[in-house]
Each structure stands twice: as structure tokens, then as C-alpha cells.
Amino acid sequence: MKIYAPNIHLFAFELYKGTNIDTTSVQADNIQLWQSADTIVSTTLNQDLHLNRRIDTHKEPHSLRVDLLKDSEIKEDHYAIDIDDTQQIIKGFVHPLRLHDSYALWLNLRRPEKKDDGTQTEDVDVALLSKLNPNNCFILEKNKFFLGQTLLITAWLAGAKDEKHLHEIAQECLEAIFPNPSQRPPFHRQGELFGSPIFEYGLFSQLANYQHVLIWLFRDSKADENFKLCYQELLDLFFFRAKVVKAYQDSRETYHRVASAYEKIENEINNLPKKEKNNEVTTAELKELKNKLKELPQLALEYTRWLRNLEDYQNTIAINEYNYSERSQQINGIIKDGDLLFLKTFAQENSPFFQKQIQADLGYFRHGSTLLDQAIASIRGIVEIEQTERDRSLENTIQVVGVGLGAGAIVSGVITQHIDKPFAPIFSNNPLHPIVTSLLLSVAATLFFGALAWLWTKLKK
């Protein structure tokens, strides 16, 4: 099947600063986007781009949108690096930017509409697209800073008869770009943008392997001209979209951590010692409860942090959904009477669904914080009561022993005044020696007064 002037546009984004990750270790020449651009140009056109040498990541540090090419690379207010392969009649450009807190890469490879001599290029077979994405080089590797990408394929329909085969043409383009079926994103929806059919691929139900691919088939010059009029706004649109999707992807990872922690909380609560009202806590059980008081607050801290992360993701989605809608309105102002329903669907349906899902997760898992607080309070109460009772018991014992020993000492002191008398065997007819008498009476006094003290503590209790 033939198409005219096919283009591959890669819009990719990478975080360079953020509140939740450390990006200080990332050097300007070690940024994945710039390395990926070098790889794509080298793989497809056998040319060395050396993008990292041609940009200045420190330009206008306080601006929200910055074209990063060095001033020496800018020619006639053109902020992109042109690439060209005259043998294959392939042209393109690489446009590095900084948007808000992220780096952005717009890379284009295309079959131009006209040759250098001004004549129109011929229609080409859809299979040409496979030569522009060898080894799937347009799909970038993910790392913790990578936000996501949108792969936009545009092509002109070769004839009026193609109107009857739009879906087949789009599918052939997709298969040419992704020859390996396992790497091919599934069909999502079809619509129209600026009067031309557009097809979207990639399902949010497959977030782990999510790829966002658009195939836009121009039926006339209207769509092409409008695309050129609002390309900056469309770039921003894809950026905010990537941030929304990335936040939702990260929220699903956090969801699994929270779910695991919630299960652990329930197990900890179910394994607490079950004591009846009059049952005493053993020393081993008391030690175990004290250990729980050390473990559960740490678990509570981690659990609260994960819940806070879920809230942060929800806020990130809400903020970028607003920015997405605002850019849609700007495009609406540029393109009069432009049908933007295809673009607005993401902000009107997908993003609100993400927020509702996170809100439902928060509503369910916040119950875990309450359970954890109640468990900690319950354990602390048991430990404090048991410790108080044991301290009181020890205090009573000391009082009893102290009273008994004190009384025995007094009696012993009174009798020892006769200690100078001669000692006689205990089992003879002679009276007991005062030392023996003192000892016996001291013991008797200790026991007697100790018993009185014990009775007094019992009555007091």
C-alpha cells in the first residue's frame, strides 16, 4: 500500500529535577534523551550527531520553556539541528528543549514532500517506515527519570480510494514501525483531528508495557498546515499527558506497596495476644508487646509516607490535567473551528478516571492508619497497666520485707544487751543464750510484722 511523505515524530520527556527524586548525580552529557537522539540518528542515517556537545542545559535557568541549542548552533532563528540523507531522500531535525522541570526531545525523520530540485517526491510503500525504526530504536529505554514518549506517524493518503481503507492503512503503518508483534501496542481508538483521521494505540490497562502511538493520515493540506501552526502547543500537550500517565503508573507501584503494608498491619493486629479480663500477661508476652511498640510506629511512618505519595500523585495528575486543558484551549484559539474532541478526551475521561481510582485507594487504605493507631494505643495501654501493676507489686514486697526486717532488727537490738552471758549448748537444761534468743525473736518479729505489713497492703489495695 502506498503513502506520500511519511513522517515519524518522537516526543520524549525526561525529568531533570523533582521533589521526590535525586537528580543531582545526572550530568549534562549523561542524559538519556540526548544519548537516545544520537543512537537513533546513528542507527537510521549512519551519522554522528553528538547532541550533548551542541546544547547548553544551563541556558536561562529560570525560564519555563527554553530552546537548548548553543547560540553557535542557531542559524536564522532555527532552534533545531537539521539532519539529511540525500541517498535515501530522508530529512529530519532534532529539537532539544527544557520544559518546566523536564528535558524534552522532538526528533523527526521524514520523506520530504519535495526533492532538492523542487520536484515532488514519489509515493512510497508503507514498508519504508520499517527502515526508519530499525531495531525499534524509536522506543526509548525507561529509567527513574524518564517520563514517557509519544510516537506520532503522519502520512498523506495517496488517493481518494484510500478513504475506504483508513484502518487498514493505519494498521500497515503500525506493523511497519513495529515488525515484532510483541512490541506492537494494541489499538485504542479512532477519531479525527483538524479534519483528518487519526488512530491511537496503547491501552492504559497495560501500564507496565504502555506505549503511546498516534498514526495521523492527512487527506488534505488542512491538517498539515494546522499541525505546523500549533506544533509548540501540541508538544506541551504531549508533555503534560506524559506527566499524567507517569504519575498514574507510579501510583500503581505505590498502591502495591500500600496493599502489602495493609495486609501486614492486619496480620500484626490479628496476632496480638488475646487476653480475657482476669488473665495476667506473662513476662514473655509483655516482652513481645514491648517489641511491637518498637516495630509498629516504624510501620505506621512508612505507611503514612506511602499514603502521602498517593496524594502527591493525585495532585500531580490534577495539575497537569489543568495544564493539558489550558493548552487545548490555546490550540482552539489558534485553529478556528477546529474539532479537538480527539485531544480533549484524555482530559475529560482518562485523567479524571486516574484521579478517582487514586481517591478510592486512599479512601480504603486510610482505614489502615486508623487500625494501626488503635493497635498501638491498645498495646501501649496493656503494657502501661501491666507495668504499673508489676511496679506496685514490687513496691508492696519491698514494704513488707522492709517492715519485717526493721521490726526484727529492733527486737534483736533490745535483747543483745545480754550478749555478755556465757554460752551453753542449745539442747542442755541451761536457759538459751541471749544470742540465740535474740536471733529467734528477731526472726519471729520479722515474720510477724512482715505479715502485718502484707495484710495492710492487701487491705489498702
Distance of CA 97 to the CA centre of its chain: 25
User: What is the average per-residue pLDDT within 119-128?
Assistant: 91
Q: What is the pLDDT of residues 172-181, one digit of tens each?
A: 999 999 999 9
Confidence of residue 339 (pLDDT cuts 50, 70, 90): confident
Looking at the fold, whether 255 and 179 belong to one and the same domain comes out as: no
End residue of a domain, out of 201, 229, 257: 229
Cell numbers linked to 216: 495521523
Looking at the fold, whether 72 and 161 belong to one and the same domain comes out as: yes
Number of other residues whose CB lies within 10 A of the CB of residue 296: 20
The answer to which of 233-242, 357-366, 442-451 has the lowest mean pLDDT is: 442-451
Q: What is the pLDDT of residues 39-58, one digit of tens each?
A: 999 999 999 999 999 999 88
Instruction: Tell whether 239 is covered by a domain.
Output: no
Question: What is the rounded CA–CA span in Å between residue 435 and residue 412?
Answer: 9
Q: What is the pTM of this model?
A: 0.81
User: What is the average per-residue pLDDT within 394-423?
Assistant: 55
> Strands, DSSP E only, in 264-308?
none
Task: Say yes or no to pLDDT of 19 above 70.
Answer: no
Average model confidence (pLDDT) for the chain? 83
Task: Say yes or no to pLDDT of 401 above 50.
Answer: yes
DSSP string across 203-251: -GGGGGG--EEEEEEESSHHHHHHHHHTHHHHHHHHHHHHHHHHHHHHH
pLDDT at 35: 94
Looking at the fold, whether 306 and 415 belong to one and the same domain comes out as: no
End residue of a domain, out of 333, 355, 390: 390
Confidence of residue 454 (pLDDT cuts 50, 70, 90): low
Which of 206, 120, 107 is CA-nearest to residue 158? 120
Looking at the fold, whether 162 and 268 belong to one and the same domain comes out as: no
Element (H, E) at 106: strand 102-110
**Max Cα-Cα span within the chain:** 146
Q: What is the pLDDT of residues 245-303, one digit of tens each?
A: 999 999 999 999 999 988 888 887 777 666 555 566 666 766 766 777 777 777 778 88
pLDDT at 281: 64
Looking at the fold, whether 15 and 135 belong to one and the same domain comes out as: yes
Instruction: Tell whether 114 is covered by a domain.
Output: yes
Element (H, E) at 443: helix 434-460
Task: Say yes or no to pLDDT of 350 above 90.
Answer: yes
Instruction: Tell whether 344 is covered by a domain.
Output: yes
Task: Say yes or no to pLDDT of 139 above 60.
Answer: yes
Q: How far apart are the first and last CA of the chain?
A: 98
Task: Say yes or no to pLDDT of 38 above 90.
Answer: yes
Looking at the fold, whether 205 and 64 belong to one and the same domain comes out as: yes
Instruction: Tell whether 75 is covered by a domain.
Output: yes
Domain count for the chain? 3
Task: Say yes or no to pLDDT of 71 above 60.
Answer: yes
Q: What is the pLDDT of residues 197-215, one digit of tens each?
A: 999 999 999 998 899 999 9
pLDDT at 304: 86
CA 148 → CA 10, 102, 140, distances in Å?
11, 11, 9
pLDDT at 25: 47
pLDDT at 250: 95
In which domain, by residue range, is 451 found?
393-460
Looking at the fold, whether 270 and 299 belong to one and the same domain comes out as: yes
Name the percent of the chain lying above pLDDT 70: 74
Helix (H, G, I), strand (E, B) or coil at 109: strand
End residue of a domain, out of 362, 390, 418: 390
Instruction: Tell whether 439 is covered by a domain.
Output: yes
pLDDT at 252: 95
User: What is the average per-residue pLDDT within 307-323?
Assistant: 96
Q: Are 362 and 411 in contact (CB under 8 A)?
A: no
Looking at the fold, whether 221 and 339 belong to one and the same domain comes out as: no
Instruction: Tell whether 237 is covered by a domain.
Output: no
CA 18 → CA 14, 15, 226, distances in Å?
11, 7, 34
pLDDT at 273: 65
Instruction: Tell whether 238 is covered by a domain.
Output: no
Sign of the dihedral through C-alpha 4, 213, 338, 319: negative
CA torsion angle for 405, 406, 409, 411 (degrees, to 10)?
A: -110
Looking at the fold, whether 176 and 45 belong to one and the same domain comes out as: yes
Instruction: Tell whether 108 is covered by a domain.
Output: yes
Looking at the fold, whether 322 and 420 belong to one and the same domain comes out as: no
Looking at the fold, whether 214 and 100 belong to one and the same domain comes out as: yes
